[in-house]
Amino acid sequence: MRIDVITLFPDIFFGPLGESMIGRAREQKLVEINTVDLRKFAHDARGTVDDKPYGGGPGMLMKPEPVFEALESLRREDSLVVLTSPQGQRFQQRQARELSAMKHLIFVCGHYEGIDERIRTVIDREYSIGDYILTSGNLPAMVMIDATVRLLPGVLGSSLSPEEESFSNGLLEYPQYTRPPEYRGMKVPAMLLSGNHGEIAAWRKEQSLERTKLRRPDLLEF
């Protein structure tokens, strides 16, 4: 997979996307991640990529020309363009799975008060990571990239890991334990020490459902 990120702050991506599993995935050539400085597509020496909105109003808007031209320099037949925006659809595990099946992703990081509406004509998906406002779309892009790349084959240590995590089956993940079997009076449930894999699977399913009812009942609403 190839991922290109169009942003005003390309350097801030190097740290978060250069460590841990994402960093290893890049080293192993499972994914290629590039940042593109939007100011390189500005039409003046100052690198201006924003302007005042017609009709008045607070703040500035991202100009269409730099975004259009940046996308034209990157877009291929198999590209999917994602805009990070508080107006977008809520990004969830299902969306991460859909993106992980793509060959080429282009993220456009929103900034300022918003974008010139014409930019939306060259966007395929518009996603938000939550009902709150951030200073730019860079952090949401990093979140989406992390959630997507970790689903690529070979990125996680176990091929079963993504299937058993929270939200993968619409429920929260069941409680998990490791050694020691008892710590400060707190014992690992006897079921997990029984070695009966069928009963353990049933216990985990029950616990997953109960935890979802308690913590995220909205996930059970149909």
Shared-domain flag, residues 116 and 21: yes
What amino acid occupies position 191? M
Burial of 93 (0-12, 13-18, 19+ CB in 10 A): middle
pTM for this prediction: 0.88
Same domain for 71 and 170, yes or no, is no
Q: What is the CATH number of the domain that holds 10?
A: 3.40.1280.10
Residue 162 has pLDDT above 60, yes or no: no
pLDDT tens sequence across 45-56: 999 999 999 999
Same domain, 126 and 72: yes
Q: What percent of the chain has pLDDT over 70?
A: 95
The DSSP letter of residue 52 is: P
Residue 206 lies in a domain: yes
Instruction: Provide the token pair at 207.
Output: 């616990």
Residue 209 domain boundaries: 166-220
pLDDT at 50: 96
Q: Is the pLDDT of residue 212 over 60?
A: yes
Residue 40 lies in a domain: yes
Is residue 144 within 8 A of residue 96, CB to CB? The reply is: yes
Q: How many domains does the chain have?
A: 2
Mean pLDDT along residues 76-80: 97
